Amino acid sequence: MSDLALSPRKPAAPLNGYRIVQSISVFVIALVVISPLFMLFIASLKDDRFQILADMGSFRAFWVDNPTLNNFREVGNFAGELAFGRYLGNSLLILFSTVSLGLIINSMAGFILAWGSLPGRALILSLIIALYVIPQESIIMPLLIIVSRAGLSDTFTAQILPFVASPLYTFLFYQFFAQLPKELYEAASIDGASIFRTWWSIFMPLSLPALATVSILMGIEAWNQYLWPILITQTDYARPISVAIATFFGQDSIFWDRAMAASVLMMIPILVFYLAFQRWFISSFVGSAVKG
Amino acid sequence: MSALTIPPKRRRRSIITRVGWPRFLQEIGMLAPAVVLMTVFLITPFLLSFWTAMTNQPLVPRPTPVRFVGFNNFLRILSDDLFWTSLWNVTRFTLWVLPVQCGLAFLTALILNQKLPFRNLFRGMFFLPAITSMVVVCVIWGTLFQYPTGPLNQILASLSGGHIQPIDWLGDPNWAMFSIVLLSAWQAYGFQMIIYLAGMQGIPDELYDAARIDGAGRWGRFWHVTMPGLRPTHVFVLVITTIQAFKLYTQVAILTQGGPKSSTETVVHYMVRAGFEEQKLGYASAVSVILFLIVLVIALIQRRLMRRFDV
């Protein structure tokens, strides 16, 4: 009875069998989840590619005696055979263009669907929800025809434009905007704000959780594209880093030291991106999608 | 004539008079980019895939005209043993990955949903594999799977005192798909974990308090409050994981190329090989239509189940 009067969150329980099991399982899961990533970072700092593999089975995988950035120097060029600097730049360009265009275009559409006055909005909305079922993989072959007939093969445009507008993100924005109070919208129109202004200066600043969620989801998607760039890029010009790293596997024996350094290069930007947005992300993510 | 044109005219006039031209044009301008892009890059290729699937369209244009071949591509796919192997393989993959990935996600979410020191740190940390690119995951697990002296084999050997023979994780047809399951589950479970966390936080605390008053223990609360409350979440998680699993491609293309002995051939890998390497775009489009139908059926099942649970 007394603990009912307290807030729903109880103070930490005393140490008992249950809590010990709980702590051990968190620790084990953390070990399984994190140690491979940690190993990757450590290995990328080791110079000797044979030592990397030899160290892997022991605790030496988690320790490096004399860390060196040689591997990064070797792969980080902007031209030549190991031009991962260039591939990284390409991927960053694709990431930022896709996400920034995507945030604007999908949120504008979501806003009009939620608060606009155009006839047929309900129809467009249900069409968009239906489109969500189509997997990217199942349209990729005809998309290849369209994009290459348009003369866009081996360009950045071909890797950005098709993925900017998305049924899922338009719907997420629609859902977020629709649950904001009506008074907000009415106050803006009484003040004589245009609908564009209402979207940009009233609703967008209030949409940080939605913006963060869509940014992270779109960012991960754009950063990790693999199949599409393989089909559409033929030269280094617009090749993203994911495709470049995969070429390590085509060789007879893999240069693990270089592959590890290139992988770390690929992880760092998305890690920064994630850490910047994750505060809003975890709280808002798919709380909405589960309902929908 | 005037009688025919009145209804649309009147409707159009009513929205213009209601909101005025500037606003009407602004709304069109704000909605159009998304609608146009989705039409060009989603609806058109989708509709085109049904047409291309019935032709012998090659990847690179040839002087000979493209011929309409009806359902020939579909018939050839359905009589190709490799296609059935790939379909069976993704089914096998799904049956493995569902319990491993969703189970891990569910357990982790259960633990993280309780009061725990550094809970938010763990939550952010457990999501890290999900932001890691599949290519990087392949580099990491490619080293872990090394045969015969890779880390996983060494761990197995030392745990069993040398009794377990080293496993050729990616080279043995009996193990290759299971290895793909392991790395896929490791990479993607963070998403399911967050969906479960969201679902668990949606269960009102009052239900737990009520159960406690009724004398329910930890297990009783779990079975009679948590599990029923998570029913829609379970359906959602199972369905998106199944759809994801049927689209299995990247890790297979990088690590095994469908081998050894086609034991990791998947539907998407089969499609890309036909369309890109063998340049038979019509054939590949037919595979993509089949893939779409599979995903559609799964999504329809989800809708049925969700509706039942939402009541």
A97 and A64 in a common domain: no
Q: Do B295 and A141 touch (CB under 8 A)?
A: no
> What is the extent of the structural domain holding A122?
84-291
**C-alpha of A106 from chain center:** 16
Please tell me the predicted confidence (pLDDT) of residue B1.
44
CA distance B235 to B6: 49
CATH number at residue A268: 1.10.3720.10
From chain B, the residues in CB contact with A259 under 8 A are 139, 142
Query: Is A114 a member of any domain?
Result: yes
- Entry pTM: 0.87
Q: Do B131 and A53 touch (CB under 8 A)?
A: no
A57 and A142 in a common domain: no
Is the pLDDT reported for residue B163 higher than 60?
Answer: yes
Please tell me the predicted confidence (pLDDT) of residue A6.
41
A148 and A15 in a common domain: no
A145 and A120 in a common domain: yes
A92 and A60 in a common domain: no
Q: What is the pLDDT of residues A84-109, one digit of tens each?
A: 889 999 999 999 999 999 999 999 99
Please tell me the predicted confidence (pLDDT) of residue A249.
85
**C-alpha of B242 from chain center:** 6
Query: Please, which residues have CB within 8 angstroms of residue A67's CB and are 6 or more apart in sequence?
Result: A45, A46
A97 and A186 in a common domain: yes
Residues 86-105 (A) with a CB less than 8 A from some CB of B: 105
Q: Is A98 helix (H, G, I), strand (E, B) or coil?
A: helix
CA distance B102 to B91: 16
Structure tokens of A188? 């803006």
DSSP letter at A201 equals I
Q: How confident is the model at residue B76 (pLDDT cuts 50, 70, 90)?
A: very high
**Residue type at A189 in one-letter notation:** S
- Asked whether the beta carbons of A142 and A79 are under 8 A apart, the reply is no
Query: Is A244 a member of any domain?
Result: yes
**Residue type at A247 in one-letter notation:** T
H helices of B43-112, where?
44-52, 72-78, 81-97, 103-112
Query: Is A62 a member of any domain?
Result: yes
Is the pLDDT reported for residue B24 higher than 50?
Answer: yes
A193 and A49 in a common domain: no
| Ranges under pLDDT 50 in chain A | 1-8, 10, 286-292
Report the residue of B19, B54, B131 to disrupt the A interface, i.e. the one with the largest count of A CBs within 10 Å. B131
A175 and A121 in a common domain: yes
Q: What are phi and psi of B171, to 5 degrees?
A: -100, -10
Compare CB distances from A142 to B45, B104, B136 and report the shortest one's residue. B45
Q: Which residue has the higher pLDDT, B186 or B121?
A: B186
CA distance B248 to B265: 9
Is the pLDDT reported for residue B37 higher than 90?
Answer: yes
Q: Which of A68, A97, A122 is the last residue of a domain?
A: A68
Residue of B nearest to A217 (CA): B131
Q: What is the pLDDT of residues A162-198, one digit of tens each?
A: 999 999 999 999 999 998 898 888 888 888 888 999 9
Is the pLDDT reported for residue B4 higher than 50?
Answer: no
Q: What is the pLDDT of residues B219-254, one digit of tens each?
A: 888 888 888 888 888 888 988 899 999 999 999 999
Does A109 lie at the interface with B, CB-CB under 8 angstroms? Answer: yes
Please tell me the predicted confidence (pLDDT) of residue B67.
84
Tell me the CA distances in angstroms from B140 to B120, B176, B263, B281, one per residue in order: 26, 16, 22, 34
Q: Is B55 helix (H, G, I), strand (E, B) or coil?
A: strand
Structure tokens of B142? 């490619």
CA distance B97 to A129: 27
Q: Is B38 helix (H, G, I), strand (E, B) or coil?
A: helix
Query: Is A74 a member of any domain?
Result: no
Q: Tally the domains of chain A.
A: 2
A259 and A225 in a common domain: yes
Q: Do A139 and B45 touch (CB under 8 A)?
A: yes
CA distance B226 to B207: 9
A140 and A250 in a common domain: yes
Query: Is A214 a member of any domain?
Result: yes
Give the helix/strand (H/E) hosting A129: helix A121-131
Report the residue of B26, B86, B136 to disrupt the A interface, i.e. the one with the largest count of A CBs within 10 Å. B136
Tell me: cis bond preceding B148? Omega within 30 of 0 counts.
Answer: yes
Query: Is A198 a member of any domain?
Result: yes
Beta bridge partners of A250: none
Please tell me the predicted confidence (pLDDT) of residue A284.
64
Q: How confident is the model at residue B310 (pLDDT cuts 50, 70, 90)?
A: low
CA distance B77 to B85: 11
In CATH, which superfamily holds the domain spanning B72-310? MetI-like (1.10.3720.10)
Please tell me the predicted confidence (pLDDT) of residue B12.
53
Please tell me the predicted confidence (pLDDT) of residue B103.
92
Query: Is A240 a member of any domain?
Result: yes
- Asked whether the beta carbons of B203 and B225 are under 8 A apart, the reply is yes
Q: Which residue has the higher pLDDT, B160 or A54?
A: B160
Query: Is A78 a member of any domain?
Result: no
Closest Cα partner for A72 from A41, A37, A38, A36?
Answer: A41
Average pLDDT, whole number, for chain B?
A: 87
